[in-house]
């Protein structure tokens, strides 16, 4: 069956299979190529006739993942200019008033797309939700701070896509007054920025942050240091005019060189304190304070503007940082003697290791390092944003604790995604061969319930009762303020910010 839907740019044809209809690669904005790569998004040009929307669309040009990450989750890359597109899964385009979930993918703001198999929205549509997956500008194209270009172009794309959803989602059976945004990693950081941003009220009504951070917002002077390094690598000036003359391959090559330099030498004097403190040496390009849509770090903005809070789920995996050290072979080289140097490098008082070691007496030095970095980059800031949001809106916090079957990775970064989407059969390179289907059923159902009526099914998080849902087998539990001593020690030990 090939259903027809009319959007604001024209008529599209989808495909229905097993009770779910898919419309793939639908442009929500004009192709951002050439000089337009560094301008605000514009409406997609209208087309004549019926456009096929049955195959995944183009993705923003990007480097492949390092080999270790590629082996776990695969790299992305579909060539083409019309990469500002959405995928829509719906149980029935002829329905009305269905809840809507809008997915913002991760990838450290330099990688990712809406076409990954683990992001397939079939299970959400099967369970009565219209799901939309969004592509946006990445890396230099989306986040380099350049003279003559608006800041945060990637975030502007996301807002533009949400406006497209508001104007078009009823044609797919969705309710524009019941939209939940959700994202993971950079996508979750984007969600935090969108919650805090002025002018986004009414574009979404609930939010879910998976493995994100509420503190990410680079100082513009620091962001310009990264752009200056990019320009020096290319032999041009850090202006939109000069960058707009180059093709994506040249931009990606410079982006890779600067990212490597930042990772190997995370010197705050060279790159700026906010780039190091908020990027953790992993991200070189990310949202910047522009006094437009990013007024400051989201938690700080939300604290100052509690009226911007929305019903929220926010959480992390238990062992986020292992994703970045174990498969790359870095963890094997972390010894007790190396910990003081490593912590100092990231602006952390090495004394913090004592608290974590006391709480985890059987942990290796690498496990202590990964636990501290998990809390520094993900968990502490997630708690902070949740607490700020909870002052005026219902807030629920979780931790995904089930460990993958792959040795040493534990409950690492990205692992919860196939459980949320109920796509674990497409994720065995990450989960191992026998991921627990009942856990996928549980967490997926919680996300569906939250998108439908705002109640995921566990006790809310408040400043007094910091309840956290621990998703694990053989059963999940709700725990008040887990590992509070470690978080308290980390807050005292982190001196850079």
Please give the mean pLDDT across all residues of the chain. Answer: 95
Pairwise CA distance, residues 484 & 481, whole Å: 6
Is 281's pLDDT higher than 90?
no
Domain presence at residue 94? no
pTM for the full predicted model? 0.96
Is residue 380 in a domain? yes
Residue 270's pLDDT is 83
Checking if the pLDDT of 401 tops 50, the result is: yes
User: Taking 90 as the threshold, does the pLDDT of residue 267 lie above it?
Assistant: no
320 a catalytic residue: yes
Give me the pLDDT at residue 152, please.
98
Is residue 452 situated within a structural domain?
yes
Ramachandran class of 156: left when φ > 0, alpha when ψ lies in -120 to 50, beta otherwise: alpha
In this structure, is residue 140 part of a structural domain? no
Instruction: Report the alpha-carbon distance of residue 21 to residue 136 in Å, rounded.
Output: 23
At residue 219 the predicted structure's pLDDT band, cuts being 50, 70 and 90, is very high
| Segment 58-96, tens digit of pLDDT | 999 999 999 999 999 999 989 999 999 999 999 999 999
Band the pLDDT of 495: cuts 50, 70, 90: low
- pLDDT for 154: 98
Report the percent of the chain where pLDDT is more than 90. Answer: 91
Catalytic one among 185, 211, 381, 476? 185
Tokens representing 428 are: 């065995």
Alpha carbon distances (Å) from 421 to 71, 210, 230, 313, 400: 20, 12, 37, 15, 14
Tokens of 253: 């090559």
Three-class HEC string of 82-105 = CCCEEEEEECCCCCCCEEEEEEEC
Are residues 164 and 132 in contact, defined by beta-carbon separation less than 8 angstroms? no
Indicate whether 63 belongs to any domain. no
186-213 pLDDT, tens digit per residue, is 999 999 999 999 999 999 999 999 999 9
Structural domains counted in the chain? 1
pLDDT per residue as tens digits for the range 27-44: 999 999 988 999 999 999
Residue 122 within any structural domain of the chain: no
Task: Indicate the burial class of 231 (C-beta count within 10 angstroms; 0-12, 13-18, 19 or more).
Answer: buried
Q: For residues 108 and 151, what is the distance between their CA atoms, to the nearest angstrom?
A: 17
| The one catalytic residue among 413, 444, 476, 486 | 413
Q: Buried b vs exposed e over 297-331: b needs ≥16 C-beta within 10 Å?
A: bbbbbbbebeebbbbbbbbbbbbbbbbbbbbeeeb
pLDDT tens, 154-182? 999 999 999 999 999 999 999 999 999 99
Structural domain boundaries enclosing 470: 311-493
Question: Do 305 and 316 form a contact (C-beta atoms < 8 A)?
Answer: no
pLDDT digits (tens, 9 = 90+) for 365-382: 999 999 999 999 999 999
Domain assignment present for residue 22? The answer is: no
In the numeric block, the tokens 């919860």 are attached to 416
pLDDT at 278 over 80: no
CATH of the domain at 381: 3.40.50.1820
Whether 161 and 275 have beta carbons less than 8 Å apart is answered as no
Q: What's the rounded mean pLDDT across residues 350-357? A: 96
d(CA 84, CA 67): 27
* Domain contains 95: no
For residue 496, is pLDDT > 70? no
Tokens, residue 422: 């109920």
How sure is the predictor about 280, in pLDDT bands with cuts at 50, 70 and 90? low
For 403-450, write each residue's pLDDT tens digit.
999 999 999 999 999 999 999 999 999 999 999 999 999 999 999 999
Q: How many CB atoms lie within 10 A of CB 52?
A: 13
pLDDT at 112 exceeding the cut of 60:
yes
């Amino acid at each position: 069956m090939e259903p027809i839907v009319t959007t604001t740019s024209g008529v599209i044809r989808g495909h229905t299979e097993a009770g779910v209809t898919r419309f793939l690669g639908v442009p929500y904005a004009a192709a951002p190529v050439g000089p337009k790569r560094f301008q605000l998004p514009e409406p997609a040009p209208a087309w004549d006739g019926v456009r096929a929307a049955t195959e995944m669309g183009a993705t923003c040009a990007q480097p492949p993942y390092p080999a270790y990450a590629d082996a776990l989750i695969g790299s992305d890359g579909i060539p083409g200019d019309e990469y500002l597109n959405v995928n829509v899964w719906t149980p029935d385009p002829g329905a009305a008033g269905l809840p809507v979930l809008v997915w913002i993918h991760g990838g450290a703001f330099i990688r990712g797309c809406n076409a990954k198999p683990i992001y397939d929205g079939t299970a959400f549509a099967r369970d009565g939700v219209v799901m939309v997956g969004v592509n946006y500008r990445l890396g230099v194209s989306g986040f380099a701070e350049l003279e003559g270009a608006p800041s945060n172009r990637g975030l502007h794309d996301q807002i533009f896509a949400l406006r497209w959803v508001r104007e078009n989602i009823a044609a797919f059976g969705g309710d524009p007054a019941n939209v939940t945004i959700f994202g993971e990693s950079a996508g979750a950081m984007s969600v935090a920025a969108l919650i805090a941003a002025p002018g986004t009220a009414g574009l979404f009504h609930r939010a879910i942050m998976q493995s994100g951070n509420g503190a990410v917002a680079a100082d513009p002077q620091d962001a310009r240091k990264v752009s200056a390094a990019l320009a020096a690598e290319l032999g041009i000036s850090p202006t939109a005019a000069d960058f707009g003359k180059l093709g994506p391959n040249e931009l990606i090559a410079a982006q890779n060189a600067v990212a490597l330099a930042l990772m190997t030498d995370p010197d705050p004097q060279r790159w700026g304190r906010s780039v190091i403190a908020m990027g953790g040496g992993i991200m070189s390009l990310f949202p910047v304070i522009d006094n437009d849509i990013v007024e400051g770090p989201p938690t700080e903005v939300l604290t100052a503007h509690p009226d911007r809070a929305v019903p929220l789920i926010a959480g992390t995996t238990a062992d986020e940082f292992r994703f970045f050290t174990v498969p790359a072979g870095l963890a094997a080289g972390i010894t007790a003697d190396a910990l003081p140097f490593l912590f100092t490098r990231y602006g952390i008082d090495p004394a913090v290791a004592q608290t974590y070691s006391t709480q985890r007496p059987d942990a290796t030095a690498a496990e202590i390092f990964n636990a501290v970095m998990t809390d520094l980059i993900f968990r502490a800031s997630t708690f902070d944003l949740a607490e700020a949001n909870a002052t005026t809106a219902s807030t629920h916090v979780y931790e995904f604790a089930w460990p993958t079957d792959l040795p040493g990775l534990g409950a690492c970064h990205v692992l919860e995604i196939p459980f949320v989407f109920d796509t674990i059969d497409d994720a065995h390179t990450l989960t191992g061969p026998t991921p627990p289907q009942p856990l996928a059923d549980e967490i997926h159902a919680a996300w569906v319930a939250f998108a439908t009526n705002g109640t995921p099914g566990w006790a809310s998080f408040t400043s007094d009762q910091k309840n956290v849902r621990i998703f694990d087998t053989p059963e999940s539990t709700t725990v008040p303020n887990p590992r509070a001593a470690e978080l308290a020690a980390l807050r005292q030990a982190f001196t850079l910010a």
